[in-house]
């Protein structure tokens, strides 16, 4: 029952805007859509503190009189969400309401914090502060999943029938095959599904909270909403916290946003107003989030969300359901297995019916009834049709691919992902840490009158600084080194870099770092940065010039600091010069002043406060023209996506009475500029070009502003710098976000089983969904760069590409990428990224190199090609075996092969060479071909033609050999001779069968060499260039000779030793199939038959109107939107209305030094 005096009225205490906000939150968290009326009752139950909503509808009405107005369906809906009501925090706008209102919501006293009683109540209401996790998939379940393959099911069926008919040897052999394949596959995939465990591991173990008037350190899982927490530099954030006090506070939110730049935190509401419009933020400025890290300063705040209600919790909820579905290979092999099964079953039934009705193929000497003999023949056909070695070969091929990729620094977590990479048509990549290094680096410096280039990358202090002029590019590296030495000796940049260093709190040190390499933990030395990312770049630039912080701080002692604020866009410090310092880098500038004020910040703000500047070591007045020239330099640097900071000094003869920002940040002597960027990886440009040449498109999805994203894309060759159409290929995700939200809500309406939509209404919603999806597809088909992207935007983008028939590869390294990594066909995480991303991905790049993806794609294509080779090899043999048995029976002959013999051929003779084919090297030009279509069958016309030809030749050779063997050993072509005893006839038939077995073994082993390439001659590839083939041939021949000549084993396999002329016939016919295969490939090369189309370059040279995309025939792939309107893809969380659906193509920056472009 609701507590007296606590009942909320919908019209007053719970406004509609609040309900709508709560509706969005419950939809995001539970995936359920509630009516506003029903949501009111849910909110009311939460607000009144009632622990449980009654499960019985009558009890619900009794506890809530207003519920009488609900229909039975609505009552049921409220009852069903009772558990969600307890879990979901329905309080809306906690980040934006006044702090006083926040206190009231949590009944919080800032002077003492929550009481112990309040903490216990909140624990019951909100639960523990931890992310829900699913137990890891047990090994036994992975083992059982291996039996879902249609070919494995067919083998199990054949095993059961064989055992039932007394064919224990054949049945046991099948059991061994199936078990080996299942164990191998389960072992390879063990450990998958670690994403949610990794998310939980991101939480810090302890936190400092203020309770009962005391600061205590507690386990982070026991934090509750309403707790007051304290944080400082280096602390991990354990919940979503609304800030109430900050002191120069910054946090690294790369785990959520993917951007390496630290975010300045404030107490004020997070949205700034510019030009009358609200600037949308990916994260809120007055909230710090679970899983992020404090990089600078101190802060205090109130916990507003814990556990699954945090921003990270919403991502964790998403990870539970995102699924890319079956891999292309699995689908193709499934289709192939289904066709083989139906075909073999049909032929077996036909043979059984014909045999029983006509008596053909029966053994007159057998005492078994006719139906049982025919059933054994039918089983033989089924066993012959199924390539028993195929599942094992596929598993071994993929496992070998995983091993090869690991050697190339690509760790594959899921077997099928190896092949999926080879089918990739588009790579959707994050920018920070993937295309770029993830470390801000100074690349240019400027002082009035001179620009400088700074070389080097990351935090390593190795690099040069030298003047830039019209002749610099023609200088040799030795000349540039000499120029750098001159810059160091002249001291011309000493004041600039020293001022930047003193006006920053970052540090970069050479420290021991523990890493995991190939499963082994080891310690190495690395440069490690701490503090603001841009300030780290200042520290490294200063160190390149030989300026160390410890040396500088021994001369200049900080006595006051005014932290950076988003309003001033500046920070300033006051330093005192040591009495021991006779002369410093500032001496000439400040006339040996004992106190120096230093201001650093946005160039326009520093220049506006500057009255003088330093030119060639002398202080001169700075007029408006000088400032315009400086701003022109700023704009030039900003246009190249560089983050620009300015610095200046102000001398004091004595310590000023007022050290606030108003005093220190005026009448500045301007010193110069620092331009930094998160640089692109050096190998990225070549990798993008290689991918494009292979027909694989690369698109960039980033949280950066549009201007920065575009500049980076042009720098790495993703966009052509000289192409005026680039603006059409770069977009802000704001408009796309609303379309994605509309698609989600429409899917929910169509997928709601409780909602009984009329046919007209359902048709209307289906048409709406199609229209929305088409709008998104029309955008993505021509876009190469997505700016200001949020996590769920990536899902919208990836799903759009999948609807268009693409096999989408998504790369990333942050928590924000995890959902998209799981939703893409192939998810690729960076090795240095979060454990969350690694757990969600199919493949992890151990070296973080984008170029490794291209290597992996080539490996994937090679693996797919090898799989088609051994499928072609196995099926041509198996189909020939079927026709040999079928034709022989129709001719009235006993089967040339019995089930155990067929199993031996399919495993030893076919299986071993097939494994060798799986290890074949890539054919030349494999990366010149276009990506394979999703619907392209695993066997193309060139393989089908080859199977047809080889089946005809091999069947004819086997029948000739069998009949000749019968004539030689029984005196009759059909094996029936009244002049011979039953034992003589049996021995003669077994000897003829043995001749057929040896012929199939030898001709298949020799043909395995020619099957190494579908078009290239074996002599061109090198007959013995695949060492594994030699091993396979030797083992197979040796094992077959052993089986055919050892008495005990000989009896099991119904084989007899051969005589001279019999060996002569077998050996003489052996090369024919290989000769025919080589002649067939010669015809292929001459006529161009079956040649795969070359790749359409997916690079920047493709027409803008086509979005530089591959020309994929959507109809041939099947429009997934038409096939399944509602449940094709995982539903995404509801995104609040963010404005109109028109796509906003704006470039805006929070840094004053960057150019701001208005909406087009």
Task: Write out the DSSP string of 511-548.
Answer: EEEEEEETTEEEEEEEEEEES-HHHHHHHHHHHHTT--
Give the orientation angle of helix 415-422 with respect to helix 168-189, to 10 degrees.
Answer: 80
Distance CA 1132, CA 1127 (A): 12
Residue 393, token pair as written in the block: 């070969």
Whether 778 is catalytic is no
Q: First-to-last CA distance in the chain?
A: 57
- In the block, which residue shows the tokens 């899982």? 221
Distance CA 539, CA 605 (A): 22
Give the orientation angle of helix 415-422 with respect to helix 850-890, to 10 degrees.
Answer: 100
Whether the CA torsion 306, 312, 314, 318 is positive or negative: it is negative
Residues 6 or more apart from 27 whose CB is under 8 A from it? 33, 34, 748, 1133, 1134
**Parallel, antiparallel, or unpaired: how do β-strands 206-211 and 228-232 relate?**
antiparallel
Task: Write out the DSSP string of 45-86.
Answer: HHHTT-S---SSHHHHHHH-GGGGGS-HHHHHHHHHTHHHHH
* DSSP SS3 for 1: coil
User: Choosing from 92, 235, 430, 626, which is the catalytic residue?
Assistant: 430
Whether the CA torsion 953, 959, 964, 969 is positive or negative: it is positive
Rounded to a whole number of angstroms, the CA Rg of the chain reads 37
How does 1059-1074 read in b/e, with b if 16+ C-beta sit within 10 Å? Answer: eeebeebbeebbebbb
Dihedral, CA of residue 306, residue 312, residue 318 and residue 324, to nearest 10: -160
| Closest residue by Cα to residue 946 from 1058, 831, 1089, 760 | 1089
Residues 6 or more apart from 648 whose CB is under 8 A from it? 499, 598, 599, 606, 609, 610, 668, 669, 670, 671
| Closest residue by Cα to residue 391 from 185, 187, 181 | 181
| Longest pairwise C-alpha distance within the chain | 130
| Closest residue by Cα to residue 570 from 451, 660, 642 | 660
- In the block, which residue shows the tokens 């805007």? 17
Please count the residues of the chain: 1160
Give the orientation angle of helix 759-780 with respect to helix 791-803, to 10 degrees.
Answer: 100
Q: Which residues are catalytic?
A: 430
């Amino acid at each position: 029952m609701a507590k007296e005096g606590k009942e909320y009225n919908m019209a007053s205490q719970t406004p509609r805007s609040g309900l709508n906000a709560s509706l969005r939150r419950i939809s995001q968290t539970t995936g359920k859509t509630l009516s506003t009326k029903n949501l009111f009752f849910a909110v009311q139950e939460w607000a009144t503190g009632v622990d449980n909503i009654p499960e019985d509808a009558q009890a619900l009405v009794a506890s809530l009189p207003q519920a009488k107005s609900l229909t039975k369906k609505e009552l049921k809906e409220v009852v069903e969400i009772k558990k969600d009501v307890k879990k979901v925090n329905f309080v809306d706008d906690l980040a934006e309401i006044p702090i006083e209102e926040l206190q009231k919501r949590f009944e919080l006293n800032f002077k003492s914090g929550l009481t112990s009683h309040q903490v216990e109540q909140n624990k019951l209401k909100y639960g523990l502060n931890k992310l829900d996790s699913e137990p890891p998939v047990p090994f036994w379940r992975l083992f059982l999943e291996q039996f879902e393959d249609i070919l494995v099911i067919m083998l199990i069926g054949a095993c059961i029938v064989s055992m039932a008919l007394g064919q224990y040897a054949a049945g046991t052999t099948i059991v061994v095959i199936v078990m080996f394949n299942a164990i191998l596959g389960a072992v390879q995939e063990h450990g998958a599904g670690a994403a949610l465990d990794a998310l939980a591991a991101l939480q810090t173990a302890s936190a400092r909270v203020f309770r009962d008037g005391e600061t205590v350190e507690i386990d982070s899982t026991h934090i509750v909403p309403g707790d007051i927490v304290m944080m400082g530099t280096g602390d991990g954030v354990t919940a979503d916290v609304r800030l109430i006090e900050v002191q120069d506070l910054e946090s690294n939110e790369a785990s959520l946003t993917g951007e390496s730049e630290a975010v300045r935190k404030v107490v004020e509401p997070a949205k700034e107003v510019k030009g009358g419009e609200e600037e949308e933020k990916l994260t809120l400025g007055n909230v710090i989030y679970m899983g992020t890290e404090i990089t600078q300063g101190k802060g205090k705040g109130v916990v507003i969300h814990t556990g699954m209600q945090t921003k990270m919790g919403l991502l964790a909820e998403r990870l539970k359901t995102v699924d890319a579905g079956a891999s292309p290979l699995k689908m193709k092999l499934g289709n192939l297995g289904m066709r083989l099964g139906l075909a073999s079953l049909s032929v077996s039934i036909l043979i059984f019916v014909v045999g029983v009705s006509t008596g053909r193929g029966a053994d007159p000497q057998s005492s078994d009834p006719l139906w049982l003999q025919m059933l054994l023949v039918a089983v033989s056909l089924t066993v012959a049709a199924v390539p028993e070695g195929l599942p094992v070969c596929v598993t071994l091929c993929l496992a070998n691919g995983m091993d090869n990729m690991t050697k190339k620094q690509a760790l594959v977590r899921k077997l099928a992902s190896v092949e999926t990479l080879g089918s990739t048509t588009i790579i959707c990549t994050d920018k920070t840490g993937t295309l770029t290094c993830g470390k801000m680096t100074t690349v240019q410096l400027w002082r009035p009158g001179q620009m400088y280039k700074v070389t080097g990358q990351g935090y390593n202090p190795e690099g040069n600084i030298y003047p830039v002029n019209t002749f610099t590019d023609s200088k040799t590296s030795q000349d540039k080194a000499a120029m750098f030495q001159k810059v160091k000796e002249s001291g011309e940049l000493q004041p600039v870099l020293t001022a930047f260093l003193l006006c920053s709190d970052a540090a970069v040190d050479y420290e021991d770092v523990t890493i995991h390499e190939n499963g082994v933990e080891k310690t190495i030395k690395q440069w490690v940065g701490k503090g603001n990312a841009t300030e780290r770049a200042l520290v490294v630039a200063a160190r390149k010039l030989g300026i160390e912080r410890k040396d500088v701080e021994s001369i200049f002692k900080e006595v006051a600091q005014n932290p950076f604020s988003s309003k001033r866009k500046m920070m300033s410090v006051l330093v005192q010069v040591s009495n021991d310092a006779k002369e410093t880098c500032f001496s000439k500038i400040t006339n040996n002043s004992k106190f120096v004020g230093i201001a650093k910040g946005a160039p326009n703000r520093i220049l506006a406060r500057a009255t003088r500047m330093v030119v060639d070591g002398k202080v001169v007045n700075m007029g408006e023209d000088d400032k315009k020239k400086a701003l022109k330099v700023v704009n030039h640097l900003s246009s190249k996506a560089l983050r620009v900071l300015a610095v200046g000094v102000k001398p004091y003869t004595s310590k000023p009475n007022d050290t606030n920002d108003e005093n220190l940040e005026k009448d500045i002597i301007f010193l110069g500029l620092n331009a930094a960027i998160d640089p692109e990886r050096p190998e990225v440009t070549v990798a993008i070009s290689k991918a494009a040449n292979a027909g694989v498109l690369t698109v960039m999805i980033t949280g950066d502003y549009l201007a920065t994203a575009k500049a980076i894309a042009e720098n790495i060759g993703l966009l052509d710098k000289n192409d005026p159409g680039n603006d059409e290929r770069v977009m802000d995700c704001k408009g796309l976000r609303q379309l994605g939200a509309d698609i989600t809500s429409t899917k929910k309406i169509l997928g709601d089983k409780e909602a009984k939509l009329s046919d007209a209404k359902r048709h209307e919603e289906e048409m709406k969904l199609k229209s929305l999806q088409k709008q998104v597809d029309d955008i993505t088909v021509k876009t190469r760069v997505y700016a200001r992207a949020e996590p769920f935007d990536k899902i919208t983008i990836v799903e759009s590409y999948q609807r268009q028939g693409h096999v989408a590869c998504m790369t990333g390294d942050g928590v924000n990428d995890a959902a998209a990594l799981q939703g893409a066909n192939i998810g690729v995480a960076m090795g240095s990224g979060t454990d969350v991303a690694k757990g969600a991905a199919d493949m992890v790049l151990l070296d973080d190199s984008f170029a490794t993806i291209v290597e992996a794609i080539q490996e994937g294509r090679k693996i797919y090609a090898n799989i088609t080779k051994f499928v072609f090899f196995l099926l041509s043999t198996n189909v020939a075996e079927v026709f040999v048995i079928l034709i022989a029976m129709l001719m009235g002959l006993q089967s040339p092969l019995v089930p155990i013999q067929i199993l031996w051929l399919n495993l030893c003779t076919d299986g071993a060479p097939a494994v060798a084919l799986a290890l074949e090297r890539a054919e030349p030009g494999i990366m010149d071909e276009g990506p394979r279509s999703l619907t392209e069958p695993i066997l193309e016309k060139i393989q089908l033609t080859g199977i047809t030809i080889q089946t005809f030749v091999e069947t004819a050779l086997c029948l000739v050999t069998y009949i000749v063997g019968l004539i030689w050993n029984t005196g009759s072509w059909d094996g029936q001779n009244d002049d011979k005893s039953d034992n003589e006839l049996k021995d003669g038939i077994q000897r003829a069968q043995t001749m057929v077995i040896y012929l199939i073994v030898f001709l298949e082993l020799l043909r395995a060499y020619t099957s190494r390439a579908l078009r290239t001659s074996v002599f061109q590839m090198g007959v013995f260039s695949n060492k594994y083939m030699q091993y396979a041939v030797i083992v197979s021949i040796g094992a077959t000779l052993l089986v055919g000549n050892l008495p005990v084993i000989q009896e099991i396999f119904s084989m007899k030793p051969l005589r001279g002329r019999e060996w002569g016939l077998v050996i003489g016919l052996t090369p024919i199939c290989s000769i025919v295969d080589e002649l067939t490939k010669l015809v292929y090369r001459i006529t161009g038959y079956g040649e795969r189309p070359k790749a359409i370059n997916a690079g920047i040279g493709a027409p803008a109107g086509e979005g530089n995309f591959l020309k994929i025939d959507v109809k041939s792939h099947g429009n997934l939107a038409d096939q399944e309107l509602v449940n094709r893809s995982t539903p995404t969380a509801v995104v609040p209305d963010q404005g109109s659906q028109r796509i906003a193509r704006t470039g805006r920056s929070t840094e004053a030094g960057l150019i701001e472009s208005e909406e087009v």
